[in-house]
Structure 1
């Protein structure tokens, strides 16, 4: 199937899953915690993922489905086609009635994304990435051309657990001492979509990432003209530790900030 068609199906699935989640947004909803006190899951997460999986299995019954909740695969196959979805990225925001959460779907082949969509229903936005670039609500968007780091807004993302809180502090210091401002969105996919659309200039983390949190958004950034690397400055892959994304202007500065979070990479040679 052409990549453009896969992008259309990713859009359909993300929109449908987002609609399921939106139906329960700001309603009474039981929330459970998973790995930590701020790591929430709700029935809306599970229902939205089931809706996404149903759409994809109807179109691609033989392609693996990777998702955050426990009725899906937890790892991306090394070869062949597969789909990756996050029903609600930013569940902490979702359960608090905040609008910055997303439903993301990505199509990958041999572990590499080829199409993706991120719906942000509470804000009325739908980002789609395919061979022709990135659109938001049907209109082309791209990373901005800001090159002055004093004007950059950079997002520290993923979550540093209580036993790694000193890294969170270093992330904040690394950003506010180098760039114009820091923005904490609390949704990786929303952060990466904002970067792809030119609203911010950088997104960074040094911690381990999950494919459902990152693959769709990283693909949007690259298709929109940005750069995504790991902490070594190499092209980012879903199984790498850390993620550094920028509008491709002064990427080295964003990478340096990300390395400053982690003592094991702080002394690495400049790219």
Structure 2
């Protein structure tokens, strides 16, 4: 079984665990803020994903959002990055936009990933052969007109950055065609990879690896461009993220960077 096969099986089976609890009565707790939710579904899903990975790779290094797993990538070697439910607020409120996501990483480079959005009936897979959506090759959009760009802000982590986030929204709506905010970074990056929207952006420094790594690889392997807010190739410890179809990437970077200068 390849690493891609393992990410697929783990994400699909994990998503099945989460989906069984979707729109049921949930015991909801909060972590760092009143909007930072965690449920039993999160921990149950992560446990199932880890079981599947360790059945094939018993010594696997796990980076996971919940419980006591690592919260950052190791300096080198192989690792598995898990987000059991990305978009937990959506999950808690009964909104369909959430995913279970699993990525395989080698020396900080993603080599395979699967993102399952079970309530949407969508499965994204990606490896060195490209990005697939529901078994079909997919690609970023070909849109070149900024006035027709649909741009989505992602990764609003805390109220201390709300002024900056507001500036970002204000700048984007003035410069591009329209905005969408979906509340799930992995779904949003998947939409960039499949051409449904044209860009996803954030000014958040050092985003969590489980929120970004798989989705960034989806966009890159679908022909898009992903950098930090200075236009440098994106890495897991980057400041911000600008993921676009590539046609007007520098212009999007410029407008995003202006909101933090």
The TM tier, using the shorter chain, reads over 0.9
Alpha-carbon separation, structure 2, partners of 1:84 and 1:48 = 13
2:197 aligns with: 200
Q: Give runs of aligned pairs for residues 27-46 of structure 1, distance below 5 A.
A: 27-46=24-43
Quick check: 1:248 aligned with 2:234? no
Range 22-31 or range 57-66, more displaced: 57-66
Alpha-carbon separation, structure 1, partners of 2:251 and 2:25 = 44
1:154 aligns with: 151
Query: Which of 121, 130, 148 is matched with 1:124 structurally?
Result: 121
Whether the 8 Å CA contact 1:193–1:220 is kept in 2: the answer is yes
SS at match of 1:122: coil
1:224 to partner: Cα distance: 0.5
Quick check: 1:226 aligned with 2:233? no
Query: Compared with structure 1, are the counterparts of its residues 258 and 160 closer, same or farther at alpha carbon in structure 2 (3 Å cutoff)?
Result: farther
Unaligned segments of structure 1, at least 5 residues: 264-271
1:150 to partner: Cα distance: 0.8
Query: Compared with structure 1, are the counterparts of its residues 178 and 207 closer, same or farther at alpha carbon in structure 2 (3 Å cutoff)?
Result: same
1:260 to partner: Cα distance: 2.0
1:8 aligns with: 5
The number of aligned residues is 260
1:163 aligns with: 160
1:216 aligns with: 214
After superposition, what is the alpha-carbon deviation per residue over 1:83-135, rounded to whole angstroms, capped at 9, x for unaligned?
00100000000000000001111000001101111000000000000121011
1:240 to partner: Cα distance: 1.2
2:169 aligns with: 172
Query: Which of 234, 237, 252 is matched with 1:236 structurally?
Result: 234
| Segments ≥4 residues shifted beyond 6 Å | none
Alpha-carbon separation, structure 2, partners of 1:166 and 1:260 = 13
SS at match of 1:123: coil
1:79 aligns with: 76
Quick check: 1:141 aligned with 2:138? yes
1:195 to partner: Cα distance: 0.5
**Taking structure 2 as the reference length, what is the TM-score of the superposition?**
0.97
1:160 to partner: Cα distance: 4.8
After superposition, what is the alpha-carbon deviation per residue over 1:164-199, rounded to whole angstroms, capped at 9, x for unaligned?
211121111111011100000111101000100110
**Taking structure 1 as the reference length, what is the TM-score of the superposition?**
0.94
Query: Compared with structure 1, are the counterparts of its residues 160 and 257 closer, same or farther at alpha carbon in structure 2 (3 Å cutoff)?
Result: farther
SS at match of 2:257: helix
1:163 to partner: Cα distance: 2.4
1:268 aligns with: none
For the aligned residue pairs, the C-alpha RMSD in angstroms reads: 1.0
Alpha-carbon separation, structure 1, partners of 2:239 and 2:31 = 21
